[in-house]
Structure 1
Amino acid sequence: MSSDAAPDVSALAINVTIPEPLRWTDTRRDEQFILTTLNIRLLPDGHLAAKAYGRPTGGGRGTYVSFRVPDRPELAALIAEAASRAGELWSAHRGLG
């Protein structure tokens, strides 16, 4: 690839485990879920977007359903810290193994 043609990166996303003290429950289709994972995306304008995923509190696998992340300062801090950490890890990559 020539140095003047930058690759077209179509997505930058990371998955982050939500620490237990920050987890919450939400309901979808009459089923309660405990939210345990964040999927954080870097949008083209440089802002972050996040969705939460989890498992049914009653057990089982349930469905793969996304939930809105509540507007809580501690979750916003987790998202920002995770994105910064991912950037550090990406910038320190050592190429294909």
Structure 2
Amino acid sequence: MDVEVKAMALNVVIPEDLRWTDVRRGVEFELQSITVRLLPDGGLAAKAYGKPVDGGRGTYVSFPVRDAPGIRELIDAAARRGGDLWAHHRGWGA
């Protein structure tokens, strides 16, 4: 079967010591996870997601991933771990 895969994605928890905050529409968010996508050309794309610092039922909002010590390493390690998990999957419904 010829299957065209557009991208693969995985969600990574940002360790407490690497988390940061950002503001959107006057609301401060704590960035808690990164979604890493493996693109068809082998490159990676990433977005950070967070929740409002003040709590409540705020929307889970995406932000650019900051270029900071530890973040690049986290994304690279997540991609390697994700690749290993994909390579050793047990099949759908297993």
Say yes or no: TM over 0.5. Answer: yes
User: How many residues are matched?
Assistant: 93
Q: State the alpha-carbon separation in 1 of the partners of residues 41 and 51 from structure 2.
A: 31
Query: 3-state DSSP class of the match of 2:80?
Result: helix
Q: Structure 2: any 5+ residue segments left out of the alignment?
A: none
Quote the sequence identity (%).
59
Q: Structure 1: any 5+ residue segments left out of the alignment?
A: none
Instruction: Give a deviation string over 1:23-70, Cα, whole Å, max 9, x none.
Output: 000000000000001000011211111100011001112123210111
Write out the 4+ residue segments of structure 1 that deviate beyond 2 Å after TM superposition: none
1:39 paired to 2:35: yes
Query: Which residue in the other structure is 1:15 paired with?
Result: 11
Query: Which residue in the other structure is 2:50 paired with?
Result: 54
TM-score of the two chains, using structure 1 as the length reference: 0.90
Query: 3-state DSSP class of the match of 1:66?
Result: strand
User: Which of 15, 21, 25 in structure 2 is aligned with 1:25?
Assistant: 21
What one-letter code is carried by the residue in structure 1 that aligns with 2:11?
A: N
Pick the structure with greater CA Rg.
1
Query: 3-state DSSP class of the match of 1:13?
Result: strand
Query: Which residue in the other structure is 1:89 paired with?
Result: 85
TM-score of the two chains, using structure 2 as the length reference: 0.92
